[in-house]
Structure 1
Amino acid sequence: MEIQSRILSFFIYLCSLLPFWALYLLSDILYYVLYYIVGYRREVVFKNLKKSFPEKSSDDLKRIEKLFYRSLGDMIVENIKMASISAKESKKRLTILNERVLLDYLEKGQPVIMVTGHYSNWELGIHALSLLSPYPSLIVYKPLSNKVFGAAYNKIRSRFGAVMVPMKQTLRKIHHYRNRAHTSVFLADQTPMKSESKHFITFLNQPTLMYLGIEKIAKKLNYPIIYSHIDRVKRGYYTCEFTVLVDNPSEYSENEITDLHSSFLEQLIQKKPELWLWSHKRWKHKPHA
């Protein structure tokens, strides 16, 4: 597996050396291939959009659908570029608007839990956070079934020092860093296994089983929770804004924190729906009758 991963990493690195204009040309081609030729998860995407926005016309849904596939193509090539992009260029491409919100906690020695979603280009945020400060960034992720691709991808993500943490090792790794200021980053819209959660909320007009890991860890450790909102300004350029959602998790009732960060993400999606990962099978689980 290691040899295969190295070969894949080398191929990705070679592709990443292409200038941005060439990569975006490739993205335009990818859009037509994914949308018109392959039809990559088009049924899933349109079904998700239609259920999430029942008030929108078919024309509006089609427009969002096409914008999503264009955004998906851009995200793919931008993530390839992460394999060789310089620190200077990375900071130029994603600007953190209010870094003091996070740094004020870390400089006092306070560990922080950061929440984001499969929204805009969340992967670029890994480089941005790693380059922001010398404090460790723990990136919690769900391992891919393809271990070769997963290993190559994690190598790219950790280029500037990010610590990649498989979901099952989350609490152990955070405990290891308990005496050091650090940031633990979670994707709030992960789909949990049915055995992991029984908490359903109405999210984008649909009953949605929620991932409770963020809330459980935050309340156990009483670490503040900051939402990282990555927005697309124009092609190839993003901003990141930090918002303190919870300062003292121990003061919140059961499921209140989960509902809070889910509502925050939902509002972002409603403003710019094309930036969310609609091909993600988010509604696999249904509540009991």
Structure 2
Amino acid sequence: MAKKLKKIRKKIQRPLEVTAIYGLMFCVKCQTLRGARRLGTILGYIGYNVPSIKKLVKANLNIAFPDMSKKEARKIGIASMTSLFNVFIEFLWFKGREHKISQFIEWDDVSIKEFKEKREKNKNKKPCILLTMHMGNWEVTAQTYHLISDEILTSVATRIKNNVLEDLMYQGRTATGAKITHQKGAVKALVQSLRTKQSIGLLVDQNTKTHQGGVYAKFFGLDATISRSPATFAKKFNPDMIMIECHRTQKGFYITYKQLPFTYEDCESEDDYSAKLLKYMESLVRNRPDQWVWYYNRWGTFRNKEDKSKYPYYASLESKYD
């Protein structure tokens, strides 16, 4: 009986999801970008006040900013959720009119000039790794890369279970020439791009368990994991390593391309490189905490039983250290 009900639920759920997606896209496209963002503001406020979401966001902010007032933490929490919802709202708004995105971009001229000069010098000599975080609108970083470079950008994306939404996201992400590879077989595709001296994009602020290639380092004073991939690629391919920041502004987006303030030669090992990268990302979050996604199990695992009380409620001892 339970299986039968589950099948019925799935049959009903799919058309409802499709209707909701296209209904939302219709509403978004009927407005200006600023008007569409107001919808994101409403959704952000509602989302933050969902008890489970508020609990997670508050727990993370308490780890990062233990001395922050409740009023300020609430303000940042709502702004963060608004930013998260607006990533999708803005994606739908630009869907089918990606050619207009340049009208809403303000570039950091100095960093872009330095980036272009570096790539002109190193093109066909070394690859480029573009690092970004879940801050502002990270989707825009890939969608706008063609505006400053003729290199092919390969990025990794998680496949979405809803096929309609997956197709929409894939179409929007590749509309400006970016190449998307899904997690299965992603390493092979990324390595191939690096070997041919092309560019790849990596989201580097995720919680990656050690058995999946993660390594522990300090993040806001507490051990957290970070993927070893950037360090491994930096060691093996000696690429240009660039951090892209895409901040939301009243007009649209402000984008900077900054070379990392250290190289692999400055580090003692891959672990040391990963630790320096995580520390650098912490500084970026501290600068704009309202535009980073706090609704995420960032400190999801720990490796010392005695540290359990230091971690948020959702954290668990990683199995290999049990």
TM, length-normalised to structure 2? 0.77
Match of 1:259 in 2: 275
Q: Which residue of 2 aligns with 1:48?
A: 60
Q: Any idea what the Cα deviations from partners look like across 1:66-91, whole Å, max 9, x if unmatched?
A: 2222323333311211313342x312
Partner of 2:243, secondary structure, is: strand
Q: Does 1:94 align with 2:105?
A: yes
CA distance in 1, matches of 2:97, 2:33: 10
Listed as ranges, the matches of 1:99-114 within 5 Å are 99-107=112-120, 108-109=123-124, 110-114=126-130
Cα contact 2:132–2:201 (8 A) shared by 1: yes
Distance 1:25 1:244, change over 3 A: closer
Q: Quick one: which amino acid aligns to residue 23 of structure 1?
A: A
SS across alignment from 2:223: strand
Aligned to 2:211: 195
Inter-partner Cα distance in structure 2 for 1:237 and 1:21? 8
Percent identity, please.
19
**8 Å Cα contact 2:42-2:82 kept in structure 1:** no
1:72 maps to amino acid: L
Contact 1:228 1:243 in 2 (8 A): yes
SS of the residue 2:227 aligns to: coil
Query: How far apart in 2 are the matches of 1:197 and 1:246?
Result: 24
Could you tell me whether the CA contact under 8 Å between 1:106 and 1:135 is conserved in 2?
no
Which residue is equivalent to 1:143?
A: 159
Using a 3 Å threshold, how does the CA distance of structure 1 residues 9 and 146 change in structure 2: closer, same or farther? closer
1:84 aligns with 2:96: yes
2:254 paired with 1:239 = yes
SS across alignment from 2:274? helix
- Partner Cα separation in structure 1 for residue 70 and residue 160 of structure 2: 34
Partner of 1:218: 234
Shift of 1:139: 1.2
Report deviation, 1:40. Answer: 6.2
- 1:198-248 CA distances to partner (integer Å, 9 max, x unpaired)? 62112023220121112112212222211112223x235221111212786
Computed over aligned residues only, the root mean square deviation of the Cα atoms, in angstroms, reads 2.8
Distance 1:12 1:129, change over 3 A: farther
| Unmatched segments (≥5 aa) in structure 1 | none
**Structure 2 alignment gaps of length 5 or more:** 1-13, 306-322
Change (3 A) 1:66 1:177: closer
Q: Distance in 2 between matches of 1:165 and 1:83?
A: 20
CA gap of 1:68–1:179, structure 2 versus 1, over 3 A, is closer
Worse-superposed segment, 56-65 or 110-119: 56-65
How many pairs align? 284
Distance 1:193 1:144, change over 3 A: farther
1:74 aligns with 2:74: no
User: How far has the Cα of 1:95 moved from its partner?
Assistant: 2.5
- Equivalent residue for 1:23? 36
Higher helix share: 2
Supply the distance in 2 between the matched residues of 1:15 and 1:158 (Cα, whole angstroms). Answer: 23
Structure showing greater Rg? 2
Moved more, 262-271 or 67-76: 67-76
SS at match of 1:210: strand
The residue correspondences of 1:172-187 to structure 2 (distance < 5 A) are 172-178=188-194, 180-187=196-203
The alignment's TM-score, normalised by the length of structure 1, stands at: 0.85
2:19, 2:173 → 1: CA distance?
17
The structure with higher relative contact order (CA 8 Å, sep 6+) is 1
